[in-house]
Structure 1
Amino acid sequence: MSELVAASEQAIAKGSTSFAAAARLLPRAVRDDTVMLYAWCRHADDVVDGQVSGATPADGHDATAAVAQLRADTLAALHGDGPMAPPFAALRTVARRHDFPDAWPLALIDGFTMDAEGRRYATLTDTLDYAYHVAGVVGVMMARVMGVRDEDVLDRACDLGLAFQLTNIARDVQDDAAIGRVYLPQDWLDAAGARVDAPGTPALNGVIARLVSEAEPYYASARGGLAELPVQAAWSIAAALRVYRAIGRKILRAGPGFDGRRVSTSGAEKVALVAAAAADAATSRWQRPSARLRGLWTRVRA
């Protein structure tokens, strides 16, 4: 294992147990590149928030300046050959090996810019546009690392990222509101008479449940693309899909009684979901790929 991969794995272990569990299912070469890419994504997120793997932001953190520096460092990684900090060296290695267009990593930074600017989201379309920039494009890049070149299949990978982010938004409404961020569509909140600073209220829980339900067709679309992946990659993606979808289902089961606290899956639940995902990957070998659902939000291809 290279020092760069080892450093990336350490960052992942601290930052995302769900991703780390799914990544273990990948073939070694694909896993190494996936881990390196995710480490850069995680580092970029932490830089903008003034955090290191979830630590409290430093006083006086300037998110706008952090985004500008992140963009400059990222472009230097994509086009330069000088020494770089490990997350940027990892991005450079992966982006060049898999021929990323600049637009993909820069789209992620555009999403972080939305956070730095404190943007609000008037409609579901606005929320989905944000979800693409912070998660859908990550799905596209991950799929490219897994060997996908077909644009239609990359759309399925984008769908999975969108589903993940909608689930994350639904789960984290209270935590996000505490730092002044609101990702729920404002027109939904207005129609329901809901406030994000009133966790556990039926009105807000109704909006949260609606967003969880909105993620479902994107999960279904992503699952329909498993047949286009190598079997081990399909298993990893199916596992991540099941784990994140289970979080949304827990929120729905809580119903009006959901108290807004962060929902997660236990270690035992993850083991069961990973096992079920093996069957998903196996059956995808003989299933014909289904057509992508109509009416889904669709990325602008780079």
Structure 2
Amino acid sequence: MNNPSLDDHVKQTIQVGSKSFAAASALFDPPTRRSVLMLYAWCRHCDDTIDDQVLGFQAKQPQSTMIEQRLADLRKQTTAAFIGETPLTPAFSALRQVIVTHQLSQQFAFEHLDGYAMDVAQARYQTIEQTLCYCYHVAGVVGLMMAQIMGAKSHDVLDRACDLGIAFQLTNIARDIIDDADMDRCYLPEQWLAEEGLTRENYAQPQHRSALSRVAAKLVDHAEPYYHSSYQGLRALPFRSAWAVATARRVYRKIGQRVKQAGAGAWQQRLSTSRGEKLVLLVAAVGDVLLSRIMPITRRDASLWQRPQ
């Protein structure tokens, strides 16, 4: 049953929290879009709670004891949503509706919270494999949950959705390197930093922007096979869902390309795509969906990320 006040809450959440995803989400059919926004509202709330921010802005690092309690509260309220306890706050009411409507996987939801636990523990990432593990938890499992909402059931399609989430997060990391550093967070593989003569302590200093841009470019390049893999899942989705996913795929990939092209100037302002560019990418995404449906698949590549079963 629809809840007008809850619907207004989730619409406002995505309009302020993610203009890139908001544009793509408008392409879903109404029932799917509503569930997608409900899930996004819960994810945004969890992120805001851990980072002490409002809809993705004005983030700051809370005291360690405070942040540990916040994570514990998120786990407790998520459990309440799955077992049907009431009353629930808006974000968890939204999650509850997705659980009921789509039989959302409890494993995926708690694996997502495990990503925030990595932030709480101030995890360090020595290798790209460790960075990818973080990407799986904070974004790959979101792709899995989104795919469940769209009706995906096969492991192959779910794996492609997971790959797309990982590609998105690799792009986000490259774009937000300096913002993350301001919160004393670094998701870049320290091995890659060392190859450029950088350390965890100095990589964000202004005089190292050229070297840092090469690390960011490498991260953007690493996302490319994941974007490619995700394309293989479009044909299994309903047309409007595939169109929305293909649009988001093009928008985020464009942001990554922009980070790479900007070089040392990539962090002078937050890089994004304009409304006109989003429209062009939206139209191009129609071609992606149609092509995915008419091109024969002679060989199905394995998903890049081997998610836990």
TM above 0.5, one fold?
yes
Which secondary structure does the structure 2 equivalent of 1:121 belong to? coil
Report if the CA contact (8 A) 1:171-1:260 is conserved.
Answer: no
2: distance between equivalents of 1:68 and 1:84?
16
Q: Which residue of 2 aligns with 1:221?
A: 229
Q: Which residue of 1 aligns with 2:146?
A: 142
- 1:81, CA displacement in angstroms? 3.1
Q: Residue 272 in 1 paired to residue 280 in 2?
A: yes
Calculate the aligned-residue CA RMSD, in Å: 1.8
Q: Residue 178 in 1 paired to residue 182 in 2?
A: yes
- 1:155, CA displacement in angstroms? 0.2
2: distance between equivalents of 1:57 and 1:252?
25
Decide whether aligned partners of structure 1 residues 172 and 48 sit closer, same or farther in structure 2, where only a CA change above 3 A counts: same
Decide whether aligned partners of structure 1 residues 65 and 290 sit closer, same or farther in structure 2, where only a CA change above 3 A counts: farther
Name which of 268, 279, 282 aligns with 2:290: 282
Decide whether aligned partners of structure 1 residues 288 and 189 sit closer, same or farther in structure 2, where only a CA change above 3 A counts: same
Report if the CA contact (8 A) 2:160-2:303 is conserved.
Answer: no
Q: Residue 237 in 1 paired to residue 238 in 2?
A: no
Q: How does 1:24-103 map to 2 (within 5 A)?
A: 24-56=26-58, 61=63, 62-103=66-107
Structure 1 residue identity aligned to 2:132? L
Structure 2 residue identity aligned to 1:53? L
Decide whether aligned partners of structure 1 residues 174 and 227 sit closer, same or farther in structure 2, where only a CA change above 3 A counts: same
Q: Residue 209 in 1 paired to residue 223 in 2?
A: no
Report if the CA contact (8 A) 2:112-2:139 is conserved.
Answer: yes
What are the ranges of 5 or more consecutive residues in structure 2 without an aligned counterpart?
A: none
Report if the CA contact (8 A) 2:175-2:267 is conserved.
Answer: no
Decide whether aligned partners of structure 1 residues 113 and 256 sit closer, same or farther in structure 2, where only a CA change above 3 A counts: same
Q: Residue 196 in 1 paired to residue 197 in 2?
A: no
- 1:83, CA displacement in angstroms? 1.4
Report if the CA contact (8 A) 2:60-2:183 is conserved.
Answer: no
- 1:171, CA displacement in angstroms? 0.5
Q: Which residue of 2 aligns with 1:298?
A: 306
Structure 1 residue identity aligned to 2:71? V
Q: Which residue of 1 aligns with 2:169?
A: 165
2: distance between equivalents of 1:234 and 1:174?
33
Write out per-residue CA displacement over residues 15-72 of structure 1, whole angstroms, 9 at most, x where no aligned residue. 1111111111001111111110111111111011112213435795521111110000
What are the ranges of 5 or more consecutive residues in structure 1 without an aligned counterpart?
A: none
Report if the CA contact (8 A) 2:52-2:59 is conserved.
Answer: yes
Decide whether aligned partners of structure 1 residues 294 and 14 sit closer, same or farther in structure 2, where only a CA change above 3 A counts: same
Structure 2 residue identity aligned to 1:44? C
- 1:6, CA displacement in angstroms? 2.4
Report if the CA contact (8 A) 2:229-2:303 is conserved.
Answer: no
Q: Which residue of 1 aligns with 2:263?
A: 255
Q: Which residue of 2 aligns with 1:124?
A: 128
Which secondary structure does the structure 1 equivalent of 2:295 belong to? coil
Structure 2 residue identity aligned to 1:198? Q
Report if the CA contact (8 A) 1:48-1:67 is conserved.
Answer: yes
Decide whether aligned partners of structure 1 residues 60 and 198 sit closer, same or farther in structure 2, where only a CA change above 3 A counts: closer
Structure 2 residue identity aligned to 1:78? F
- 1:271, CA displacement in angstroms? 1.0
Report if the CA contact (8 A) 2:42-2:91 is conserved.
Answer: yes
Segments of 4+ in structure 1 off by > 6 A? none
Which secondary structure does the structure 2 equivalent of 1:193 belong to? coil
Report if the CA contact (8 A) 1:173-1:260 is conserved.
Answer: no
Identity in percent:
47
1: distance between equivalents of 2:148 and 2:285?
21
2: distance between equivalents of 1:291 and 1:29?
34
- 1:281, CA displacement in angstroms? 1.4
Write out per-residue CA displacement over residues 184-242 of structure 1, whole angstroms, 9 at most, x where no aligned residue. 00111112112432246222111110000000000000012111111111100000000
Decide whether aligned partners of structure 1 residues 190 and 59 sit closer, same or farther in structure 2, where only a CA change above 3 A counts: closer
- 1:97, CA displacement in angstroms? 1.9
Report if the CA contact (8 A) 2:178-2:204 is conserved.
Answer: yes
Write out per-residue CA displacement over residues 110-157 of structure 1, whole angstroms, 9 at most, x where no aligned residue. 101111111111100000000000000000000110010001110000
